[in-house]
Structure formats: structure tokens, C-alpha cells
Amino acid sequence: MDCPASATFTAAELAIVLSHYDLGVVQSITGFPRGSRRSPKAGIVAEHGKYLLKRRAEHRADAERARFGHLVQQTLAAVGYPAPQLVPTRSGGDTLLELKGHVYELFKFIAGERYRRSPAQTREAGLALAKFHQLTAAFPGVDFAQRGDYHDATAIRTGLCAIGSTLNSHDSFTGDEAALAALIQDLLTTYDRAADAVNRTAYAAWPLRLIHSDFHPGNLLFRRDKVVAVFDYDSVRLARRVIDVANGALQFSLLAGQDPLLWPDQVDEQRFVAFLNGYCSCLPLEPQEAACVPSLMVEALITECVPPITQTGTVGKWAGFRVLQMVRRKTAWLAEHAERLVGMVPV
């Protein structure tokens, strides 16, 4: 199955949107092909500076949700956190522009480099997450935040079952229907066991707080090993902080490659430790929180692949069946080595 084409701006759309901002004379507009294919971006060089324009993907075009994310982002930027600066429109100072059913955002451009997978950058990423949690601990207006996360979620189990029942004739599964059914059952069992392990701790008693909920290498920029930007506040929600910590530890220690079938089973343990060292240098974890990390990593990895495969049969450019096979191997490794990984978490 071919990947869906990336969404793009039209020239007329850009002219109308940019007319709502005070940028001075626009000198150049360049496509910016990073991030979601469903959310087009453009680099703008203008008289008053450099900017990044983004049209929110349709599934993220909820204005109320977006404004809450902007409030978090602006509050963090005001106290020195590396959150990109939002540019208000000419009229009213709103940082969201709603036109013809679309929602747009404009940011001051930040120069930086992508994650290079170094332990130094990984430690700084963990520290950046801890500072996010620290600075949002007493955030006002949290009643407007979304709730819910990937732990012990009915939607994830339902999504896994939907993969088996609705996509078994998809190109990526053709000829593997029986293997797919067994694979889905294995992942359901793995997810249940991980969720049960977390529930046997004091997880339910831990306080809800604002978490980033999408903390991964693609949402950070670095310069000289320091984090200079943390992007994407669309998924900010109320949950337990260890949800963010475990997902971050997974994302920053994942060993990947071109073909999911060839991805190593294990995580990069040096980066796993570096991320958690960075986090705990600012906000130490309680022992029971540390005990949850490998099981929550299992849940997070399964969760990441379910929605795209349910919707399209693929995860980015990869066929869904191959991704699920990879996830089964990696989650099995995490479960087998959970006790040793817990021992690496600083508390």
C-alpha cells in the first residue's frame, strides 16, 4: 500500500494566511517537509524575521484544545523553557488563525539540529522533560486539559482487535491471515500483562498532573548537545508523570532501521540510562514509579502502532504486519529484561 500524499499549501492559501500577520515584506517561502504528512509546514523569510507556518491536521483542528496547548506553550516560554514563540495575528493578538475550516499557527523559527542519538543529547532530553513537569506542576486551568493515556486503555485493546477483524485482507497481511490472528493475540496478552504489572503498584494513587504526552526525538531540536526547542503541545493532558517518563525512555532508546523485521530486539541501554539520569537529576522517581517503567514502555510501544495500522494498514512507510512482528519481538525483550532495566533507573 502506498503512503498517503503529503498535504501541501496552495499559493493562494499562503497569500491569504500570511496577510493576517505583520511580517513585513515576505522574501521567500520554502516547503518544510518534517513531521506529520497531514500537517503542511512552510519556512517563511520576511522583513521582520524567519518563521514557520503550520496548518494543523484535521484530526487536531479542535480550536479549544489547540488554545489550551498554546496557553501551556506561552506560559513555559515566558519562564525560559525552550518552547517556540507563537506569533499573534494582526487583529486581536490570537495565536490561532481559523480560516475556511482550517486552523493555522505561526512560530518564530528556531535554528537547531535533529537528535543525533548521543548519550549527551539523550540526557539533556530527559532533563528537558523533567523541567516541563516541574514548571507545569501548579499550572492554572488544568480542568480544561484532556485526560487519559496509553496505560490499560480499552481503546488500545479494541484497536488491536480491529486490526485482525478489518484489515486481514489488506495487502500487507495477504497470505498471513492465520499468523496475523496469532500475532494480535500475542500482543493483547503482552499488553494485558504489562498493564497488570503496573496496576499492582501504587499507580492508581499517584497524582494526575500535566504531561507532554508526545515527547520523542522528532519534537526536540538541539544545539551543542543542549535542547533549544521542545515542540508540539497538542497532546498535553492530565495523567501520571511516569507515563511521559516511560514513553520518553522508550523513544530515546529505541533501536530502529530501514526494515522493521531487521530492527534489533533490545533497546540502547546507554541511552535508556542517560535519559533517566537526565530526568532524575531534576525530579527523582519513587521506587514504585521506577518499577513501572519497562511495563509502561511495553504498553507505549504497542499503543504507538495501533491507530495508524487500524486506519491505514501501515505505520508511515512500513507495512503494518511487519511492524507488528517487530513490536512483538521488542515487547518480549522488554518483558524478559524488565527487572534488570528497573535496576538501571536512578531513584
Quick: pLDDT tens for 322-334. 999 999 999 999 9
| Contact criterion met (CB below 8 Å) for 209 and 237 | no
pLDDT digits (tens, 9 = 90+) for 224-244: 899 999 999 989 999 999 999
Question: Phi/psi zone of residue 235: left (φ > 0), alpha (ψ -120 to 50 degrees), beta?
Answer: alpha
pLDDT string in tens for the chain (347-residue length): 444 556 789 999 999 999 999 999 999 999 887 766 778 999 999 999 999 999 988 765 577 888 899 999 999 999 999 999 999 999 877 999 999 889 999 999 999 999 999 999 999 999 999 999 999 998 876 777 888 999 999 999 999 999 877 665 566 666 777 888 899 999 999 999 999 999 999 999 999 999 999 999 999 999 989 999 999 998 999 999 999 999 999 999 999 999 999 999 999 999 999 999 999 999 999 999 999 999 999 999 999 999 999 988 889 889 899 999 999 999 999 999 999 999 999 87
| Ordered structural domains, the chain, with CATH | 11-108 (3.30.200.20), 119-344 (3.90.1200.10)
Quick one: how many helices (H) and strands (E) in the chain? 10, 12
> Residue 341 — φ and ψ, nearest 5°?
-65, -40
| Contact criterion met (CB below 8 Å) for 153 and 300 | no
Interatomic CA distance for residues 226 and 81, integer angstroms: 12
C-alpha cell recorded at residue 13:
492559501
For 281, other C-beta atoms within 10 Å of its C-beta total 13
Mean pLDDT of the chain: 91
C-alpha cell recorded at residue 224:
551543542
pTM (2 d.p.): 0.93
C-alpha to C-alpha distances, 136 to 76, 95, 139, nearest whole angstrom: 8, 20, 5
Q: How many residues does the chain have?
A: 347
Closest CA to 150 of 305, 309, 303, 289: 303
pLDDT at 31: 87
For 169, other C-beta atoms within 10 Å of its C-beta total 9
Give CA angle at 168 (166, 171), nearest 5°.
Answer: 115
